[in-house]
Amino acid sequence: MAVGKGEVEIVRARTDQREYRRIVLKNSLECAATMDVRVGSFSEPEGIEGLAHFLEHMLFYASEKYPLEDSYSKYITEHGGSTNAFTASEHTNYFFDVNTDSFEEALDRFAQFFIKPLMSADATTREIKAVDSGNWDTLEVRPKERGLDTRLELIKFYEENYSANLMHLVVYSKENLDKIHNLVEDKFQDIRNTDQSCFRCHGQPCAAEHLQILVRAIPIKQGHKLRIVWPITPEIHHYKEGPCRYLGHLIGHEGEGSLYYVLKTLGWATGLSAGESDWTLEFSFFKVVIDLTDAGHEHMQDIIGLLFKYIHLLKESGICKWIFDELSAVCETKFHYQDKISPAEYVVHVASNMQTYPPKDWLVGSSLPSMFSPRTIQMTLEELSIDNVRYESGMEDSNIGEGVALGIFWESKQFEGHTDKVEPWYGTAYSVEKITSSMIQEWMLCSPNENLHLPAPNEFIPKDLSLKSTLDMVKFPVLLRKSSCSRLWYKPDTMFYTPKAYVKIDFNCPQAGNSPEADVLTDIFTRLLMDYLNEYAYYAQVAGLCYAIKHTDCGFQVTLVGYNHKLRILMETVVEKIAKFKVKPDRFSVIKEMVTKEYQNFKFQQPYQQAMYYCSLLLEDQTWPWNEELDILPHLEAEDLAKFTPVMLSRAFLECYIAGNIEASEAESMVQHVEHVFFSGPNPVCQPLFPSQHLTNRVVKLERGKSYFYPAEGLNPNDENSALVHYIQVHRDDFMLNVKLQLFALVAKQPAFHQLRSVEQLGYIAVLLQRNDSGIRGVQFIIQSTAKGPGRIDLRVEAFLKKFESELYEMTNEEFESLAYCGISNHVNYQLSCTIFQGMPCKSGVGRNIGDAKNVNALIDVKLEKHKNLREESGFYWREIYDGTLKFDRRESEVAALRQLTKQELIDFFNDYIKVGTPLRKSLSIGVYGNPHCSEYTADKNEPVPYSVVIDDIVSFRRSQPLYGSFRGVSGHGKL
């Protein structure tokens, strides 16, 4: 227990060594030692929808104390950090992380958001245009029609809602609690407290016309989906009893006898989830979401009938204590042995809990259901009933507590031409019809008589959570074993001390990706394996032991991660299923249908995603265009896969990585078992690769001094966005060149965002990212815009680089050293990271900058901390193994290179590789043209000024270019 000064005990995990303190400032701002404001989109004035989110954006611009526009974000970025915000329905969250030495000033700048922000008329106008994304109508057009000034409404909204008593702050730092306490009081005491009340939506939000309905809607993408929704009592009022957790666990179960198992067996569903969603203190919904096959779409009524049959089964079976106890045990183990996450993510979690739970449960939230209450669970179960529904027409006050089925939402492209309504915001076509309890009862009677039953006891729940002794404090992975069939890299846990392990087995199969057809068949093969194993392995997943079988460019990978106690049991089952693989025609048809829809839906990806895909296709050797694979799919049958699989597995090499709470002898034994099954057992299915068959990763080597351009029309003719990826290829993996590139990306990231997005308003997405293709490094600008076509955007990128050149030259030695130092100091010691952060994941999916901490592989993100958990550490080392670079000491070596780097060397690097027009510069621009810019596509393709080379055909271009040497597959690589 963590005890605050004279405060209640705060429940924390047994492995949590952090200290906590709760303080309350005189202005009633509560601190648990980020800023979360209890004001969200629900509080917006009618007719100005999007105002809360817009305000979130505006607070980043400037403040009275720091009036230089964008200086806050610039300061954070240049001092080793990142910043972001999001708006949810009932709260808005702002956060940052930064280098420790810059923490106090960063905190002061952050506090000004809530003390005296500046929202100038010019900045407001520019941001309305930039944020767009559906809000232009509500923030500009409609307010003007009503005679409203959006800026004045913005200021009014801020002053009426942003009060200290509605704010929670979380501070995470290496400093002692007393110092943090004093710092918070000093920086945040000037926030006004106007004693505002938080928004409350009293009672359920659904009127009578929203109940007992079937809504048919036409989605953008291919696929069918059912959503069944009930209004329920919010679980937050019974979070210790966990009624929704209990019911969601059972209705969403995937083991034998479950609803999903039955639907899957019938060939009607490919996914199912169940649980509470969209909850507040006043209302909540229980939702069941089912992904349907084409056959399932034709059996909607049967599926609804089976759902209610399963709910009836739960009522008949009673509330089972053994199920609750099992669930409680799983939750307790998960809480006490939880992986550490980034300080930013952690305080988000804590801050969201502060808004809802009493202080002692701020760290726990609802993650530890501990009070078995059959009555409470039964109450929620009754709310999922069809028996107590009121149907009086014209009813004004619905008795929601009596188990009214809110509605069934059914999505399918097959409803085109059969709807009579259009949703105003996104233009979704839909229709509504009433349903009755007698209709659902009829569906229940007519649905198939399947053997629905409760799950069996979970044999995968770990009993042995002890830690293995590690004699050698191994810092990096070691090559523990090597044969003609496999190679084993081993890394015992010397940092996290949790009873968990990580296992990766990479099957290198030359036949798996040597053609588009082979690539698609390998993909279906891996999905079928997951499909076959699902009802068995689902129990392991519930118990905290996860696995995946995924298709790669040169074969497939098996990954297992979680508690080590039962891991080998699961691994052996997975291995046996691969070795004895047989094609089930009915399941092949379902998976083929699912894969086909995914390929068909590629055209609905956002234009910037399409541009990034084309970039990869242009650069990476032995990759196949999606349209070729889509053309193949209709002709593939189960027999093709049956013939292909033994050929694919006939020659293989296994690259293995085992880490965590596993001894070296155990790791060796596991790989020996896998080798025995595939290579030397009674029925071997594989032979070792010939030396010439070891696979390589080759990347196109662009010609120096050339600028390449690939124009493509957007695949979705209804998408008004265009996109540009401007890629600059720099070098093959080298520590000194790496840090020069990383430092450039660090110093240019925020100016690029500010200039291209905020000032020029090119688009909502405008980001500078590093790029690493199998050890070939570069940098890329990614911009999506409705305002300009790709050719004009590309000119603005080059104009930015010319403007940025002078900023780089003007950088002082002190500024340079600060940049380099934050890369060094943050790398050396995890405890040197400070974070202010808060809130929950954004329900509305809005974020300020695609290039924030979770999305940018910039210098500080790589070096900020030691690895936080086993999964993250293993991912880092596995990347080195998979790429073939094997530089396990990469971070230490790059820190050493940073110490030697001078400002002039960074400028020379820019002049050699990045500067527009330099003889060594190699650039590739990919433009995806949206509907408004179709005419520009033809012009840019025929008159490609200022590009050196226009690419007409991707495959022809790739075949005509030289390739970089591969790190992977080099003879003698990784000797014992």
Query: Could you give the CA distance from residue 563 to residue 662 in angstroms, rounded to a whole number?
Result: 10
d(CA 781, CA 752): 9
Specify whether 127 is catalytic. yes
**Tokens encoding 564:** 């080590």
In angstroms, the CA 972 to CA 976 distance is: 10
Would you call 682 exposed, middle or buried from its count of C-beta atoms within 10 A (0-12, 13-18, 19+)? exposed
Give dist(CA 606, CA 724) in Å, integer: 12
- Non-local (6+) Cβ contacts of 197 within 8 A are none
Quote the CA–CA distance of 693 and 696 in Å, as a whole number.
Answer: 9
Distances (CA, A) of 502 to 218, 578, 654, 872, 930: 42, 19, 16, 10, 44
Tell me which H or E stretch contains 572: helix 567-579
User: With contact defined as beta carbons under 8 Å apart, do 446 and 299 qualify?
Assistant: no
Quote the CA–CA distance of 201 and 402 in Å, as a whole number: 19
Neighbours of 649 (CB within 10 A): 23
**What's at 972, amino acid-wise?**
G
Q: In degrees to the nearest 10, what's the CA dihedral of 307, 310, 312, 318? A: -150
Contact in structure between 519 and 624 (CB atoms under 8 Å)? yes
Alpha helical stretches, state H, 660-789: 664-675, 735-753
Q: For residue 878, give the nearest of 612, 557, 563 by alpha carbon.
A: 557
List of E strands, 180-316: 213-217, 224-232, 269-277, 284-292
DSSP-derived 3-state class of residue 125: helix
Kindly report whether the peptide bond that precedes residue 946 is cis, defined as omega within 30 degrees of 0.
yes
What number of other Cβ atoms are within 10 A of residue 586's Cβ?
Answer: 10
> Helix or strand or coil: residue 793?
helix
Element (H, E) at 803: helix 790-810
Nearest to 808 by CA among 902, 897, 744: 744
- CA end-to-end span of the chain, whole Å? 47
Residue among 49, 69, 78, 127 flagged as catalytic: 127
Burial class of 312 by CB neighbour count within 10 A (0 to 12, 13 to 18, 19+): middle
Give me 31's structure tokens: 């601190």
Give the per-residue SS3 of 477-519: CEEEEECCCEEEEEEECCCCCCCEEEEEEEEECHHHCCCHHHH
Q: How far is it between the farthest Cα atoms of the chain? A: 83
Find, among 834, 489, 814, 806, the residue nearest to 671 by Cα. Answer: 489
**Tokens encoding 851:** 């290039």
Question: 673 with 576: CB under 8 angstroms?
Answer: no
Q: Could you say which of 30, 44, 56, 535 is catalytic?
A: 56
Q: Say which amino acid occupies 785.
A: S
Q: Is 380 helix (H, G, I), strand (E, B) or coil?
A: helix
Structure tokens at 193: 């407290």
Q: How far apart are CA 243 and CA 508, in angstroms?
A: 46
Is there a catalytic annotation at residue 807? no
Contact 273, 291 (CB under 8 A): no
**405 token code pair:** 């089925």
Q: Using an 8 Å Cβ cutoff, are 425 and 248 in contact?
A: no
Q: Are 542 and 331 in contact (CB under 8 A)?
A: no
Enzyme catalytic residues: 56, 127
